[in-house]
Homo-oligomer: A and B are copies of this chain.
Amino acid sequence: MRTHYCGDVTEALLDQEVEICGWVHRRRDHGGVIFIDLRDREGLLQVVFDPDREDAFATADRARPEWVLKIRGKVRRRPEGTANANLNSGQVEVLGLGIEVLNQAKTPPFQLDEDDVGEDVRLRYRYVDLRRPEMQQHLVTRAKVTSFMHRFLDENGFLDVETPMLTRATPEGARDFLVPSRLHAGSFYALPQSPQLFKQLLMMSGLDRYYQIVRCFRDEDLRADRQPEFTQLDVETSFMDEDQITTLMEKMVRDLMHEVAGIELGDPFPRMTYAEAVERYGIDRPDLRIPMELVTVSDLLTDVEFKVFAGPANDPRGRIAALRVPGGEALTRKQIDDYTQFVGRYGAKGLAYIKVNDPSQGAEGLQSPILKFLPEAAITGILARTGAQAGDLIFFGADKAKVVNESLAALRVRIGHDLDLLEGDWRPLWVVDFPMFEYDEGDGRYYALHHPFTAPSVETIEDFQAADPEALISRAYDLVLNGTELGGGSIRIHRPELQSAVFERLGIGAEEARDKFGFLLDALEYGAPPHGGIAFGLDRLVMLMAGASSIRDVMAFPKTQTGACLLTEAPAEVDEAALRDLHVRVRKPQRS
């Protein structure tokens, strides 16, 4: 219907006749002439209608924002001084010769260039929201990212293989979305949380290298920026070890960032063990742009009388860590109170601090409510170990290590942003040597830190069974960028007896293992190759690359925090007959 996209009409087409289709972005009447900025996916183009072409002028005069027009006209240079350097088409305009109204439009619920539209309205009228150039650019970036991934992986011998969406419920994971079966009364499919077992089965099928850009589902309580359905790039290979897999995936990410977004990530990405990450940053996905680090000072405080410190200092599961804030002396009482409240969300019962006015004067040069509780030696030790400078402030976390790590990790990021301390734009990091298991005191059992199919770093079942479960290291690896986990994976267990031993350690007995994972245990018996893989969260990756502020902005039709689609009003009630076919009924709400 058209000869060109609006955004592609440039000086190269001067004096030519073009046909364009698009939406009325703006219409104005200026000096007896009608100006229409016509918009399509590629950009804006200014069209001018003179009154001497009566029919076209009359139609242009009637046109309103968001009407859909087809316009025929001649490309000419804009008058001196009226060029628009922000537009690809900004040197030219089109003199309108003909105009056809393809569709009219009601006044849209918000202006496309309005900034502070509520997200609910944007989601309700998503088809208007998605017309905004910024939103279109996000979807274009997303398409470029997946296109790059397909090309890179195809070229590297990976096969794009589809795995089922209607599958079996996963024990040992998040909550599943369930789908009642009509043909098998009382039975349910589950939507996949990931194709983990299927991709391992593909390796046992000899497919050698697999990938898939695949929808996954988790019925979890939605925190900000989580979606019930999300997309991952899922990869698995046989006969490669963790170095080979991470090296290849690192190349993919580096090339992707460079090619699609002009982002340079450096080569190679640094690596850090889980233990070091937690020690220095309190978290296994540190944002390396923030220069502050946690410093353990427990050993300096074992003998103090101050109970807040003495307890954690002498508890094997406790930790006292110092976080030195450069220039933090300037923090106000109110700011410190805010931070104290902030760490409270992570379970910290307080937030001790020392202002460092002049460290050369020892305790004299410091300012803190806790100074009186601390012996001189401890103070000197802390100043030396944190490398405190005049003008700094030192925060302390003292509690169970878990609480200290979580609260100071969050505080570090918050202060890093508040005080504008970030250095560098893009800081990738591989985190490796994760623990195999985490002990849950509440449940009184171990859980797999990654998943129960992750291989331990010990080779034999004897070494596995002899090891202290908390000391066992897994062959897992996570890729972190600017404090966001982009992806994670591991070498998997390929020997059936080791898989059984891991299940056992997780408290899954032989019978239960057979019931839940019988097909995997069987498959491991029939010649499973050594294999491993990784999965990347596509939504979050694109969000970072596109500079979007939420994953909802890089999805065409996202859901709200309660999992609702405001556009189609899903989920919705359904006919009783449909439920009867599926052998289920809705439970009556409990009386309160």
Contacts and interface: CB of A to CB of B under 8 A. Distances in A.
A86 interface: no
Nearest to A586: B186
Interface string A524-545: 0111111000000000000000
B162 A103 contact: no
Interface stretch (A127-135, A253-261, A307-315): A127-135
Contacts of A587: 185, 580, 583-585
A198 interface: yes
Interface residues of A toward B: which range? 35 or more
A572 B205 contact: no
Interface string A392-416: 0000000000000000000000000
Contacts of A204: 127
A136 B206 contact: yes
A164 B103 CA distance: 27
A40 interface: yes
A42 to B, nearest CB: 8
B578 A178 contact: yes
A160 B160 CA distance: 16
Contacts of A585: 584-585, 587
Interface stretch (A270-278, A339-347, A377-385, A562-570): A562-570
B105 A526 contact: yes
Interface string A139-183: 110110011001100100001111111111100000111111111
A494 interface: yes
A12 interface: no
A189 interface: yes
Interface string A1-35: 11001000000000000000111000000000000
A184 interface: yes
Contacts of A525: 105-106
Contacts of A128: 205, 526
A208 interface: yes
Interface string A511-522: 000000001001
A36 to B, nearest CB: 14
Nearest to A112: B206
A68 interface: yes
A242 interface: no
A352 interface: no
A53 to B, nearest CB: 23
A573 interface: yes
A28 B571 CA distance: 61
A95 B557 CA distance: 59
A398 to B, nearest CB: 38
Contacts of A526: 66, 105-106, 108, 125, 127-128
